[in-house]
Structure 1
Amino acid sequence: MDIPRIFNITESAHRIHNPFTAEKLATLGAALRLEPEMRLLDLGSGSGEMLCTWSRDYGITGVGVDMSQLFSEQAKRRAEELGVTDRVSFIHNDAAGFMAEEKVDVAACLGATWIGGGVAGSIALLEKSLRPEGIILIGEPYWVKKPSSDDVAKGCLAGSVSDFLLLPDLVASFGDLGYDVVEMVLADREGWDRYEAAKWFTMRRWLKENPNDELAKEIRKTLTSEPVRYATYTREYLGWGAFALMAR
């Protein structure tokens, strides 16, 4: 069980697997008003930076679940580096259908809502692990400006224009599901650059070290095309944010 190998390659040097910088992640933690011993569940936890740094800074406890063997191992090492192995743990598993053994104060899914088949399904899944008056944290892309065609949307690596909403419509959709939006922190272009451009350096180094690998041609093709694709499409059209929700 693992994610497609190309993602393990291109994001192997990432600590944060979404367009948040460390500063944005810290801002989000402060915005949630975290307190010692609050419990968090993170579905699609990646390399564990959110749980580990928040545990260090706020004394929270938590569990992260991720399908990537590499990222799960990196998360465990990060917990050791920050001295929080007694407060956070990471499980290499499919997060789809996962429920915490003990109800949590914050249930999160940042940038992996495919786990629940979309935003609504992911919220419904997270709700099963949440204590009353707890917070659901959803990370999701949105259109900064609506693409003029599906071809432009595909340039942003979406399937079609209908895959994402404009920000006001995304925020409104949470209300339609019966939730108050109590906080939000949005990525900026610096965050997008750090998330996307860091992949290029990683790919270049990987190609030098693995010239005969079966994925070398695909990685070479991706490195050649990605900078222009990103600068033309994603950077201009796509936003990303983390939204804190509480049931009405």
Structure 2
Amino acid sequence: MTPPDLPRQFTIREGELRILNPFDDVKLATLGRAIRLRPGDELLDLCSGKGELLCTWARDHGITGTGVDIGTAFIAAARERATALGVADRVRFVHGDAAAYTPARPVDVAACVGATWIGGGVPGTLELLDRALRPGGMALVGEPYWRRDPPGEEAVTGSHARSRDEFTDLPGLVESFGGCGWDLVELVLADQDSWDRYAAAHWLNLRRWLDANPDDELAPELRRELTEDPLRYVRFQREYLGWGVFALLRR
């Protein structure tokens, strides 16, 4: 059975972005160095997006790996990026359900960066990653947290959270890793500038698409999003929501 695809809104919103999280290329490179990747390490990236993590780390560190994503446009972009960077012989990208994917053999690093919904949250996603890891392998999890306690429901929904309890603060998130039986061994956190670069790029992508597709059935919805999201972002999400990637080793 062919897996479902992402709604078109996702691919329109992400546009020309290569990193589909509030990380810039400097932070992504910092993370690759921080976890001390070695040539020949094998990675599995669940919900790999446009493959920037795998492709740049293959180029910079000599790793190999597989990315899995449900978005056909993202998979196509990842394969193009691998070819452009000269690493198509070292990384591959699979269109499929990341939560159901099983690697052919255990990997050195298993990642789910910004998509822990595939496991119903951090604990379930860590179980998915653990099943793919060799003994002593490393899990990478990208997850939001509250930078500041949201003062009310408007701040919660304005930060694109379903409820205040959907996320915890940073100490609570770190504590939860230990509760799941993992040691936190590295972290790289987004900052407000990397949030800006991610969020604001969406607005330009939306505006360019709207200019080119004024009669598309999605135009009213995306016009409303472009009208409302910048103010919501600067008022709430930028101030209250943090995000980071956390490197974990099973105890």
TM-score range, shorter chain: over 0.9
The CA RMSD over aligned residues, in Å, is 0.7
- The yes-or-no answer on 1:154 pairing with 2:157 is yes
Q: Could you tell me how far apart the structure 2 residues matched to 1:149 and 1:246 are?
A: 36
Q: Is the 8 A contact 1:51 1:62 kept in 2?
A: yes
- Post-superposition Cα deviations, 1:43-63, rounded to whole Å, max 9, x if no partner, equal 000000000000000000000
The residue that corresponds to 2:223 in the other structure is: 220
Q: After superposition, what is the alpha-carbon deviation per residue over 1:48-86, rounded to whole angstroms, capped at 9, x for unaligned?
A: 000000000000000000011111100000000000000
Per the alignment, residue 234 of structure 1 pairs with 237
- Pairwise mapping of residues 41-80 of structure 1 onto structure 2 (< 5 A)? 41-80=44-83
2:12 & 2:190 partners in 1: Cα distance?
23
Matched, 1:132 2:132: no
Counting only pairs closer than 5 Å after superposition, residues 83-232 of structure 1 correspond to structure 2 as 83-232=86-235
Tell me, in whole angstroms, the C-alpha distance in 2 between the residues paired with 1:132 and 1:150.
43
Once residues 33 and 117 of structure 1 are traced to their aligned partners in structure 2, the CA distance between those partners, rounded to angstroms, is 29
Q: Matched residues, percent identical?
A: 56
Unaligned runs of 5+ in 2: none
- Taking the TM superposition and a 5 Å limit, the aligned residue runs for 1:19-38 are 19-38=22-41
Displaced runs of 4 or more, over 6 A: none
What displacement does 1:12 show? Answer: 2.0
For residues 22 and 186 of structure 1, what CA distance do their matches in structure 2 show?
13
Counterpart residue type for residue 135 of structure 2: P
Aligned length: 248
Mapped to 2, the partners of 1:68 and 1:179 lie a distance apart of 30
Secondary structure of the residue that 2:216 maps to in structure 1? coil
Task: Specify the SS of the correspondent of 1:56.
Answer: helix
Separation in 2, partners of 1:109, 1:70: 19
Q: In structure 2, give the amino acid aligned to 1:132.
A: P
Q: State TM-score, norm by structure 1.
A: 0.99
Q: What is the CA–CA distance in structure 2 between the aligned matches of 1:74 and 1:209, rounded to whole Å?
A: 21
